[in-house]
Protein backbone atom coordinates (compact mmCIF):
# COMPACT_ATOMS: atom_id res chain seq x y z
CA UNK A 1 0.00 0.00 0.00
CA UNK A 2 1.40 3.37 -1.04
CA UNK A 3 1.71 6.19 1.50
CA UNK A 4 -1.12 8.70 1.01
CA UNK A 5 -0.38 12.26 -0.03
CA UNK A 6 -0.89 14.28 3.12
CA UNK A 7 0.32 17.83 2.48
CA UNK A 8 -2.68 19.38 4.25
CA UNK A 9 -2.35 16.91 7.13
CA UNK A 10 1.37 17.65 7.38
CA UNK A 11 0.76 21.39 7.65
CA UNK A 12 -1.90 20.94 10.33
CA UNK A 13 0.20 18.37 12.20
CA UNK A 14 3.22 20.70 12.19
CA UNK A 15 1.11 23.64 13.36
CA UNK A 16 -0.17 21.52 16.25
CA UNK A 17 3.39 20.45 17.07
CA UNK A 18 4.45 24.11 17.18
CA UNK A 19 1.66 24.86 19.65
CA UNK A 20 2.76 21.91 21.80
CA UNK A 21 6.40 23.05 21.69
CA UNK A 22 5.44 26.57 22.83
CA UNK A 23 2.49 25.99 25.18
CA UNK A 24 3.83 22.99 27.08
CA UNK A 25 7.02 24.58 28.42
CA UNK A 26 5.05 27.79 29.01
CA UNK A 27 2.62 25.80 31.19
CA UNK A 28 5.35 23.91 33.04
CA UNK A 29 7.92 26.70 33.56
CA UNK A 30 6.30 28.27 36.65
CA UNK A 31 6.25 24.85 38.34
CA UNK A 32 9.60 23.41 37.23
CA UNK A 33 11.99 24.80 34.63
CA UNK A 34 13.81 21.42 34.28
CA UNK A 35 10.46 19.77 33.54
CA UNK A 36 9.69 22.46 30.96
CA UNK A 37 13.01 21.83 29.22
CA UNK A 38 12.49 18.06 29.40
CA UNK A 39 9.03 18.44 27.84
CA UNK A 40 10.50 20.27 24.84
CA UNK A 41 13.20 17.62 24.46
CA UNK A 42 10.58 14.86 24.57
CA UNK A 43 8.11 16.60 22.23
CA UNK A 44 10.78 17.36 19.65
CA UNK A 45 13.21 14.53 20.27
CA UNK A 46 10.98 11.47 20.27
CA UNK A 47 9.41 12.07 16.82
CA UNK A 48 12.84 12.99 15.47
CA UNK A 49 14.50 9.81 16.68
CA UNK A 50 11.64 7.31 16.32
CA UNK A 51 9.80 7.07 13.01
CA UNK A 52 8.18 4.53 10.75
CA UNK A 53 10.14 3.55 7.63
CA UNK A 54 8.48 5.01 4.56
CA UNK A 55 6.81 7.78 6.56
CA UNK A 56 9.91 9.98 6.73
CA UNK A 57 12.88 10.31 4.42
CA UNK A 58 15.42 9.70 7.19
CA UNK A 59 14.74 7.11 9.87
CA UNK A 60 17.09 6.99 12.86
CA UNK A 61 15.30 4.33 14.92
CA UNK A 62 12.58 2.47 13.01
CA UNK A 63 9.31 1.85 14.84
CA UNK A 64 6.00 0.34 13.76
CA UNK A 65 3.16 2.58 12.60
CA UNK A 66 1.20 2.51 15.88
CA UNK A 67 4.18 4.09 17.68
CA UNK A 68 4.20 6.96 15.19
CA UNK A 69 0.47 7.43 15.76
CA UNK A 70 0.99 7.51 19.53
CA UNK A 71 3.69 10.16 19.10
CA UNK A 72 1.27 12.33 17.12
CA UNK A 73 -1.40 11.82 19.78
CA UNK A 74 1.15 12.87 22.43
CA UNK A 75 1.75 16.11 20.52
CA UNK A 76 -1.99 16.73 20.15
CA UNK A 77 -2.64 16.09 23.84
CA UNK A 78 0.25 18.33 24.90
CA UNK A 79 -0.99 21.14 22.66
CA UNK A 80 -4.58 20.89 23.89
CA UNK A 81 -3.92 20.50 27.61
CA UNK A 82 -1.21 23.15 27.70
CA UNK A 83 -3.16 25.67 25.64
CA UNK A 84 -6.24 25.37 27.86
CA UNK A 85 -4.07 25.46 30.98
CA UNK A 86 -2.17 28.69 30.29
CA UNK A 87 -3.96 30.59 27.55
CA UNK A 88 -7.28 32.42 27.56
CA UNK A 89 -10.28 30.83 25.89
CA UNK A 90 -9.92 32.99 22.76
CA UNK A 91 -6.45 31.47 22.22
CA UNK A 92 -7.14 27.91 23.39
CA UNK A 93 -10.30 27.45 21.31
CA UNK A 94 -8.48 27.73 17.95
CA UNK A 95 -5.97 25.16 19.23
CA UNK A 96 -8.88 22.78 19.85
CA UNK A 97 -10.15 23.37 16.31
CA UNK A 98 -6.64 22.85 14.94
CA UNK A 99 -6.29 19.58 16.86
CA UNK A 100 -9.70 18.38 15.61
CA UNK A 101 -8.77 19.22 12.02
CA UNK A 102 -5.47 17.41 12.49
CA UNK A 103 -7.27 14.29 13.71
CA UNK A 104 -9.55 14.32 10.67
CA UNK A 105 -6.79 14.90 8.11
CA UNK A 106 -4.47 12.32 9.74
CA UNK A 107 -6.91 9.44 9.18
CA UNK A 108 -5.59 8.33 5.75
CA UNK A 109 -1.99 8.39 7.01
CA UNK A 110 -2.94 6.48 10.13
CA UNK A 111 -4.75 3.83 8.06
CA UNK A 112 -1.56 3.49 6.04
CA UNK A 113 0.57 3.31 9.20
CA UNK A 114 -1.70 0.61 10.63
CA UNK A 115 -1.80 -1.42 7.41
CA UNK A 116 1.70 -2.78 8.03
CA UNK A 117 1.23 -3.27 11.79
Give the three-state DSSP class for 31: coil
Task: Give bridge partners of residue 51 from the DSSP assignment.
Answer: 62
Are 97 and 81 in contact by the 8 Å Cβ rule? The answer is: no
Q: What is the pLDDT of residues 23-77, one digit of tens each?
A: 999 999 999 999 999 999 999 999 999 999 999 889 999 999 999 999 999 999 9
Asked if 1 contacts 104 with a C-beta cutoff of 8 angstroms, the reply is: no
Is residue 95 very low, low, confident or very high in pLDDT (cuts 50, 70, 90)? very high
**The model's pTM:** 0.93
| Stretch 101-107: mean pLDDT | 97
Amino acid sequence: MERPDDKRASVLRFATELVAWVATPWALWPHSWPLAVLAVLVLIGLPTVFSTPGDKAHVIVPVPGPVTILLVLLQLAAALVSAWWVWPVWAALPVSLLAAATLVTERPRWRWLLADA
